[in-house]
Amino acid sequence: MISFGRSFGLAVTLVGAILGAACSNSTSPSSSPALSVAQSDTVGQVLTSDAQGEIDFATVSGTAAVFPALRADIVLSPPPPCVSRSPASPANSDADPVPDSVRITFADCVATFPASSDTVSGTIDIFDPTPTVTDHAWKHIFTDLTRVHVGPLGRESIITFNGTRQGSRDSAQIAFTSTNVSTTWQWPSGGTASHERSWTLLFTADAAGTIVPDSALPSGSLTIAGTSTWTRGARSWTIDVTTPSALHYDASCTVRPKFDSGTIAAVVTRGANTSHLSIQFTACGQYTVTRS
């Protein structure tokens, strides 16, 4: 059960914590690896979180205050006090599902779960990149969309999301690009790291006709291809990402990541050293990271 905190409870999944379990192993590469086993676990967690985060808000059109929750989307009109929508009645020149321009602001919206809680702040600007053409185009700009996650033992992470993604969607598919999108992590120790990426993604619903604007994302498959940079302290790594087997998103999952099968392959390079990561999803919230 989700219980709501101050102002309104919100289980935003854009920069969600990894609530499931992960394990890792190494096949003992013959040359010097770019990542240690511990670093491989961290990068695997980040790639997994960001893969999930890329499809959070994917159906949002700006015509309602929509909050992707852990189990299903919550749509409220008018929005609760911790959320503002500006303008309240945005113009829509072409009468397609996306208004010309609207901003949704989260002001410390709190969601409480049985063993954790989230506090969400920041903004999402939603645009119609073709405001005079009736089509399926959309654009999202995230500005300091921040999620503070508190677990059973206290604060576990602060995750901040910035960047732009743009694409097109219909009732069967969502095709989009995320360009120079960044996720910044901060841990209780004070340590920070960032992941900046340019990815091309395609989500295909299991059942055609089930993708609905401002509604929960249905089950479907997700493919990802692109490059990114992982930075922690003074060190940076470049990462090439593909999905040799599409990730299957299970809308019925109650833990994140909500993938029950599929593989992320990542080639991680630092200087002359390379590591190959395989992130294999086995069930809702469950994945294994293998370094070679």
Per-residue pLDDT tens over the stretch 224-256:
999 999 999 899 999 999 999 999 999 988 777
- Write the CB contacts of 60 (distance below 8 Å, at least 6 apart in sequence): 66, 68, 104, 124, 126, 140, 213, 214
Q: pLDDT tens-digit profile of 145-180?
A: 988 888 777 777 888 999 999 999 999 999 999 999
Quote the CA–CA distance of 34 and 79 in Å, as a whole number: 47
Arithmetic mean of pLDDT over the chain: 84
Across 187-272, the runs of DSSP E, i.e. the strands, are 192-205, 220-232, 235-249, 259-270
Model pLDDT, residue 79: 62
Higher pLDDT residue, 96 or 264? 264
**CA triple 273-277-279, angle to 5 deg:** 165
Model pLDDT, residue 224: 98
Model pLDDT, residue 10: 33
Q: How far apart are the first and last CA of the chain?
A: 40
Higher pLDDT residue, 86 or 1? 86
pTM of the model: 0.84
The neighbour count for residue 61, using CB atoms within 10 Å, is 20
The radius of gyration computed from the CA coordinates of the chain, to the nearest angstrom, equals: 19
Model pLDDT, residue 30: 47
Quote the CA–CA distance of 202 and 246 in Å, as a whole number: 10
C-alpha 258: how far from its chain's center?
11
Quote the CA–CA distance of 86 and 78 in Å, as a whole number: 12
Which residues sit opposite 127 in a β-bridge? Answer: 101, 139
Closest CA to 70 of 12, 146, 145, 7: 12
Give me the amino acid identity at 268. V
Model pLDDT, residue 181: 94
| pLDDT grade for 36, boundaries at 50, 70 and 90 | very high
Model pLDDT, residue 65: 66
Quote the CA–CA distance of 105 and 157 in Å, as a whole number: 21
Q: 20-34, 79-93, 123-137, 173-187 — which is least confidently predicted?
A: 20-34
Q: What percent of the chain has pLDDT over 90?
A: 56
**CA triple 217-219-220, angle to 5 deg:** 105
Q: pLDDT tens-digit profile of 39-86?
A: 999 999 999 989 998 998 888 888 776 554 443 345 555 567 887 889
